[in-house]
């Protein structure tokens, strides 16, 4: 038998360390509007293509590329005219594992961005249009997502579930949430 049957260090320990890294910190009670905004924004960002491990407190940029989203560390001004597509805005992963998004000025004048956002919002509304309690439909495990995006989705689910419990907002369906708190506009 070899001295080290796992020479590359792969296995359960690195996965557990990665999981600990996406556990939400400092989760607070949120209003229904804040929960929906955080849920929407975070799902938008984790729907984007990226192949790195995002960390809280770093600026990232969300671009529309070939009808999908791309998350990048490179700001629009750093591309020198070769950006992958129009930039929706600057994003930051919060310590509670939700994402914030500061939209770029003038995005409402870009038909491709407006159309892509409208399509994503329609899909989000369809996701919530059920009688299931919101906390039961959170993305605890989404098998089709790549590794880091799957971890971030699980971190989001834990964060929002904790926020809902702290605010006493559990047990309400997605339909109820949408009726009581319309989604904020990005454009």
Domain ranges of the chain: 27-180
DSSP H or E segment with residue 116: helix 111-128
φ, ψ (nearest 5 deg) of residue 176: -60, -45
pTM, full prediction? 0.86
What confidence tier does 1 reach under pLDDT thresholds 50, 70, 90?
A: very low
Dist. CA 54–CA 100, nearest whole Å = 13
Assess contact for 62 and 45: CB atoms under 8 A: yes
pLDDT digits (tens, 9 = 90+) for 108-153: 999 999 999 999 999 999 998 888 899 998 998 888 988 889 889 9
Q: Give the model's pLDDT for residue 81.
A: 85
pLDDT digits (tens, 9 = 90+) for 155-164: 999 999 999 9
Nearest CA-CA partner of 41 in 115, 109, 124, 116: 124
């Amino acid at each position: 038998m070899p001295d080290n049957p796992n020479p590359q260090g792969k296995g359960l320990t690195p996965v557990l360390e990665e999981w600990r890294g996406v556990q939400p910190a400092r989760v607070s009670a949120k209003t229904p509007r804040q929960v929906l905004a955080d849920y929407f924004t975070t799902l938008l960002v984790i729907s984007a293509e990226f192949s790195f491990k995002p960390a809280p407190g770093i600026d990232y940029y969300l671009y529309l590329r070939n009808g999908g989203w791309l998350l990048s560390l490179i700001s629009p001004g750093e591309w020198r005219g070769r950006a992958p597509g129009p930039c929706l805005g600057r994003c930051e992963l919060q310590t509670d594992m939700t994402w914030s998004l500061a939209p770029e000025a003038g995005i409402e004048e870009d038909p491709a961005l407006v159309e892509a956002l409208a399509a994503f919002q329609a899909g989000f509304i369809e996701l919530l249009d059920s009688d299931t309690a919101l906390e039961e439909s959170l993305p605890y495990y989404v098998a089709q997502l790549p590794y880091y995006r799957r971890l971030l989705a699980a971190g989001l689910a834990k964060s929002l579930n904790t926020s809902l419990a702290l605010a006493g907002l559990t047990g309400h369906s997605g339909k109820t949430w949408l009726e009581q708190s319309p989604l904020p506009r990005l454009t």
